[in-house]
Structure 1
Amino acid sequence: MTGIQFIERDGKREFAVIPIELFERLSAAMEDAQDAALFDAVRAADDGFRIPAAVANAILDGEQPVKVWREQRGLTQDALAARAGISKPYLCQIETRKRVGALKTLRAIAEALAVSLNDLHEA
């Protein structure tokens, strides 16, 4: 016997009264099911892009984002400058914060690094 009691209205079951132990088990099972559904939804919406902890920490520590991402991608300044279609001295000035870099240039760098323009933004 489960100990469940039913309350009827007009000859139809309308409410169920259950022992607290059963309620607690059911509540835990429902929470687990909701967590699993949320996990599945997040995984389905995942774009596959992650910011590595080393990159996030370096940027939070004040390092210049273009330089951090370039190093994360294993590129030299020469290689990144060539991919972005800019000169190495210009890239160096951006990385050392001597120049901000034109929007067009930053877009080219972002594309060359396979990151979003926002990932290169400095607050």
Structure 2
Amino acid sequence: MDVQDAEDRALIAQHRDEPTISHAGLKRILAGESPVTVWREEQGLTQRALAERAGVAPSMIHAVEKGTKSPSLETARRIAEALGIGLDDLFG
């Protein structure tokens, strides 16, 4: 995803009352940081709180954020839903 696409998506999301990510957050993702980490932190959630919302183990969130484990499609969907965003925002 390039910066222009991300900015366009953010504008569309604002009009739909969907969560958006800050410019600093976008830069973190583009620099290679885990989108799950960035979105979670932007929403002020701990790994444990996100895990509870998503109905997964905190160790799964930790592993996904560190890149040591890829979630199943169902787990990825749960994480995205818990953050109120689409799968493509996390794994696209």
Question: TM bucket by the smaller chain?
Answer: 0.7 to 0.9
Amino acid corresponding to residue 76 of structure 1 in structure 2? T
| CA shift digits 1:67-91 (9 cap, x unpaired) | 1100000000110000000001111
Structure 2 spans left out of the alignment, 5+ residues: 1-10
Tell me the equivalent position of 1:66. Answer: 36
Amino acid corresponding to residue 91 of structure 2 in structure 1? H
| CA shift digits 1:12-40 (9 cap, x unpaired) | xxxxxxxxxxxxxxxxxxxxxxxxxxxxx
Aligned with 2:66 (options 69, 83, 96): 96
Amino acid corresponding to residue 74 of structure 1 in structure 2? G
Alignment pair present for 1:47 and 2:16:
yes
TM-score, length basis structure 1: 0.59
TM-score, length basis structure 2: 0.78
Alignment of 1:81-92 (within 5 A): 81-92=51-62
Greater fraction of residues in helix: 2
Q: Does the aligned pair in 1 maintain the 2:21–2:39 contact within 8 Å? A: no
| CA shift digits 1:79-110 (9 cap, x unpaired) | 00000000011111000000011111111011
Alignment of 1:18-29 (within 5 A): none
Greater fraction of residues in strand: 1
| CA shift digits 1:38-70 (9 cap, x unpaired) | xxxx99xx3244332122111001000001100
% identical aligned pairs: 43
Task: Name the CA distance, whole Å, in 2 between partners of 1:75 and 1:118.
Answer: 20
* SS of residue matched to 2:67: coil
